[in-house]
Amino acid sequence: MYTEELLKDIEIHRAKMVELASISSFSNHQVLKASIELDNLINRYYTLTLKKEA
């Protein structure tokens, strides 16, 4: 169940980052912050899914 919630959060953060980038630039501080948050969520997801496979 947690992975499903994490996937939803990933999609929300991805959309937020894309929206921010579309109204500013990819080097904007807010876009970079959103990208880092998205990376952290994706890393957490892969860590959880790899543990399930092992």
> Is the pLDDT assigned to residue 52 strictly greater than 80?
no
pLDDT for 4 equals 95
pLDDT of residue 21: 93
Q: Is the pLDDT of residue 54 over 70?
A: no
Dist. CA 32–CA 12, nearest whole Å: 16
Could you tell me if 13 and 38 are in contact, meaning their C-beta atoms sit under 8 angstroms apart?
yes
The 3-state secondary structure of 6-51, one letter per residue: HHHHHHHHHHHHHHHHHHCCCCCHHHHHHHHHHHHHHHHHHHHHHH
Structural domain 2-53, CATH architecture:
Irregular (4.10)
Residue with tokens 């080097």: 27
CB neighbours of residue 14 within 10 Å: 15
The full set of domain ranges for the chain reads: 2-53
Write the pLDDT tens digit of every residue in 23-51. 998 889 999 999 999 999 999 999 999 87
State residue 12's pLDDT score.
Answer: 97
pLDDT of residue 1: 60
